[in-house]
Amino acid sequence: MKNYNSAYIIRISFISALGGYLFGFDFAVISGALPFLQQQFGLDAYWEGFTTGSLALGAIIGCLIAGNIADNFGRKKSLLVAAALFFISSLCMAFSVNKGVFISSRFLAGIGVGMASMLSPMYIAEIAPAALRGRMVAINQLTIVIGILITNIINYSLRNMGNDAWRWMFGLGIIPSGLFFIGSLTLPESPRWLVNVSRKDEALKILRKIGNDAFAKTTLSSIQSSSKSETKQGYGGVFKKGVLPAVLIGIGLAVFQQFCGINVVFNYTPRIFESIGVSQDNQLLQTVFIGIVNLGFTILAMLLVDKLGRKPLMLIGSAGLFILYLIVVQMLDAGSTAVSWFLLSAIGVYAMSLAPVTWVLISEIFPNKIRGVATSVAVLSLWAAYFILVFTFPILFDKLGDKTFYIYSVICLIGFVFVYFKVKETKGKTLEELEIVFH
């Protein structure tokens, strides 16, 4: 650690990761608000799924926009745009007068989420030294789960405010949005991006703030060598022979992280517990418990990701969820409230494995010259998978009931096989070294 300015690295990582907090806010707020939105707008299973999933549709657009903005104008400006979108969309959702306005506003929020979901971890990965990168990128996941927990607590505290409680739930998003915008103004630009646009002297100054002189010069030399090895590429570049294997792995990880099914527990907690007769107050209380477990196990993941490694955690997560879902089906089928313990266990397993490690891997495995667009393709795939997941769950749950979780269990088994055979360990390697590993 003596070669690095750890306090500086942690500070800028946390500021960038405020995008993750807002990701967590917009992701979680719908869970507490859905019972109110169903009454306000008369949502059936189809519209319930579409309203929830509209965030993902916006996120897909956000990923497409962010990749080009990040590569052409820099990571910092892209983060500022995302922060502004979060602020505007929070106000629009809070003052929605009908279903159409609300869904459009949530779609706008999704654009900000999509941008932040790829930009925050990518920025941190480019700033952090190799030895610290896993933990620093995992900070983004930490802020996501903090956002989820705080949002769930606020939702629970607002539950008795009447029919307009949901407006407060969404409107309070302007506070973290404003903090994210102000904080992003103080961030340095990514040294790797600066080198790519021939601003070597600026990159060196920032690297000297991150570490000592030897670290700065060695890192700059490594970035320059990598930068010279490839010409700048657009979206067509992700299909080139040397890049495609890493891109396919990134897409596979992103899709698996969503199709593993855990986000239906986050987004549809009230619906799942309503099916076994739990009251609305206790349904919302379960979201708070989920947030607490999610936070605790994310902190554990941060301690393990640079010690145990990425691949072992992914294998533990996929195997653990496979087993737990089988138990959840039996518990729901019996109408047992003890299912809460197994759903919380599933949240914990996911939080220490698939949730943070997928983001770490996506931020690591792509070559410098194409990292922006390749990351956006992977994260776009993640959001497309999220939309499919949350859109189909209310419909599947109406038809199949608790047996829906059998589908997610099988997917986790397939994911285990994919990770075992296709994913290589990235722990402790520089981004430039990983270009060779995934070539």
Q: Is residue 344 part of a domain?
A: yes
Q: Which residue has better confidence, 189 or 2?
A: 189
Integer Cα distance of 297 and 320 in angstroms: 14
Which residues have C-beta within 8 Å of that of residue 301, sequence separation ≥ 6? 138, 141, 313, 351, 352, 353, 355, 356, 357
Residues β-bridged to residue 211: 4
Query: How many domains would you assign to the chain?
Result: 1
Q: What is the pTM of this model?
A: 0.79
Q: Which domain holds residue 334?
A: 6-187+230-437
- Greatest mean pLDDT among 9-23, 106-120, 317-331: 317-331
Provide the pLDDT confidence category of residue 439 given band limits of 50, 70 and 90: low
Asked if residue 417 is part of any domain, the answer here is yes
- Is 240 among the domain residues? yes
How far is residue 24 from each of residues 107, 110, 266, 395, measured CA to CA in Å? Answer: 15, 12, 11, 24
Local confidence band at 426 (pLDDT 50, 70, 90 cut-offs): confident
pLDDT at 434: 67
Domain membership flag for residue 144: yes
Supply the pLDDT for residue 1: 45
Q: What average pLDDT score do residues 39-44 get?
A: 88
pLDDT of residue 229: 56
Q: How many Å apart are CA 225 and CA 235, to the nearest integer? A: 23
Give dist(CA 295, CA 310) in Å, integer: 19
Q: pLDDT tens digits, residue range 83-102? A: 999 999 999 999 999 999 99
CATH classification of the domain holding 100: 1.20.1250.20
Contact indicator for 37, 43 with CB cutoff of 8 Å: yes
Q: Note whether residue 196 is domain-resident.
A: no
- The whole-angstrom separation of Cα 165 and Cα 78 is 32
Sign of CA dihedral 278, 284, 285, 289: positive
Residue 211 backbone dihedrals phi, psi, to 5 degrees:
-145, -170
Q: Does residue 224 lie in a domain region? A: no
pLDDT digits (tens, 9 = 90+) for 165-222: 999 999 999 999 999 999 999 999 988 889 888 888 888 899 888 888 888 888 888 8
Query: Mean of the pLDDT values across residues 17-34?
Result: 90
User: 310 lies in a domain?
Assistant: yes
| Percent of the residues in the chain that have a pLDDT greater than 70, as a whole number | 95
75-79, 403-407, 412-416: range with lowest mean pLDDT: 75-79
Task: State pLDDT tens for residues 231-276.
Answer: 556 677 787 877 888 899 999 999 999 999 999 998 898 889 888 8
pLDDT of amino acid 372: 72
Please compute the mean of the pLDDT values over residues 383-403 and round it to a whole number.
93
**Distances from the Cα of 276 to the Cα of 333, 340, 376, 427, angstroms:** 9, 11, 40, 43
Tell me if 201 is assigned to some domain: no
> Mean of the per-residue pLDDT values for the chain?
88
